Structure 1
Amino acid sequence: MARMLYATLIALVGAALVHLAIVLMLPHFSTNDAWRQLENGVEPYVPVRLDRAANGSKLAAAQSLDPMFVVVACRYDLDDGVFVVNAPNIGDFWSVAVFDDFGRVIFSANNRIVVSDTLQLAVALPLQLRALQQTPREAYADAVFAQTRSSRGFVVLRMFRPDSSWEPVAREFADNIECSANPL
């Protein structure tokens, strides 16, 4: 009886470990994650609105977003240079997150960290960031820097929209976001 109980316990622990491993590996092996949808449907450096208020968003990732937020995404490729996002500081709250090409968050911040009226976020590889630190440039004086080890990824900006009357503010926010690559 003790052997049967021991074998059952070993089998249950083994099954739990296998299931846990599968769940943890799903994002890595998924072929329809947010990155793949952006990669296939959006050109690099082109801001695209993902929230439900945006007309005709074809991305499935947009269907599960919070309706209280305006969501804009922009893809980048650091082989083209340092990726820079400029966004206006309007509304009560906004946040920004940098994701790698596996959909993992590399950097996240909100409007409380910027010193100026606008956000300037620069995403760079370690060597690019080192070059910018050794030879500072006036263009990056107020920039917030995010370092990544992956040369491809995307940035997601979100602005809080309390109700539908904020749509003109949301549209102004989304229309004034600029994404670009700046060669070193």
Structure 2
Amino acid sequence: MVRKLIFAAVTGIVGAALLHILIILALPSFTGQDAYTRVQAEGPENAFYSLPDVSEGQRLANLDPYVKVAVCHFDVTSQPVRLLAGKGPGFWSLAVYNSRSDEVFSINDRTSVDGSVDVLAASTIQLGRIRKTLPDSLSRTITVELQDPLGYAVLRTMAPQASFEESAREFLADAVCAPFSDY
């Protein structure tokens, strides 16, 4: 009898703990304040938006004074998206996330082909078609296969001193997030 009572109490406590964890993890998607929704609020898809250093009523902002950030959301349902940027003023990184904010791919200036951003994000079927007739324009492009057609990219660059600020902002302003037109 005592064992059954202890077993029931432990099962109830473990079940309640799991339920609370599940609710906490699912809460952002129910409130509309998940990362994907916040990136969407920055503006229309297929464009990088540089985030301000201070949150002045903005939904997103740079939290680190030495890092400048731009975000872009996209939908590869009808065609792939190409992410391009020149060589940064120093360190840069690009991360691609799905609509559930799971990181799908990341790259930085040290792991890129030539120090610049050149990434094509596409569905499995789209990548299969592209690989059959690989255009010369994609010969040095890194391809990313997406299981979820909705996603977003976060491009970051360092500006550790005031002298880097302008070049970091130009790097982000010149970044491209656009549908791949040769598809």
Q: TM-score range by the shorter chain?
A: 0.7 to 0.9
Aligned residues: 181
1:84 aligns with 2:82: yes
Residue-by-residue CA offset, 1:18-47 (whole Å, 9 max, x unaligned): 122223323443411221122233111221
In structure 1, the residue matched to 2:180 is 182
SS of corresponding position for 2:167 = helix
Question: Percent identity among equivalent residues?
Answer: 28
Superposition deviation, residue 140 in structure 1: 0.7
Superposition deviation, residue 165 in structure 1: 3.0
User: Which aligned pairs between 1:1-184 and structure 2 lie closer than 5 A?
Assistant: 2=2, 3-52=4-53, 58-59=58-59, 61-62=60-61, 65-183=63-181, 184=183
Q: Structure 1 length normalisation: TM-score?
A: 0.86
1:141 & 1:24 partners in 2: Cα distance? 40
Which deviates more, 108-117 or 2-11? 2-11
Are 1:70 and 1:160, in contact at CA under 8 Å, matched by a contact in 2?
yes
In structure 2, the gaps of 5 or more residues are none
Higher helix content, 1 or 2: 1
2:15 & 2:5 partners in 1: Cα distance? 15
1:81 & 1:146 partners in 2: Cα distance? 13
Closer, same or farther: CA 85–56 of 1 in aligned 2, 3 Å: farther
Superposition deviation, residue 56 in structure 1: 5.7
Closer, same or farther: CA 78–46 of 1 in aligned 2, 3 Å: same
SS of corresponding position for 2:147 = coil
Closer, same or farther: CA 163–31 of 1 in aligned 2, 3 Å: same
Aligned residues: CA RMSD = 2.2
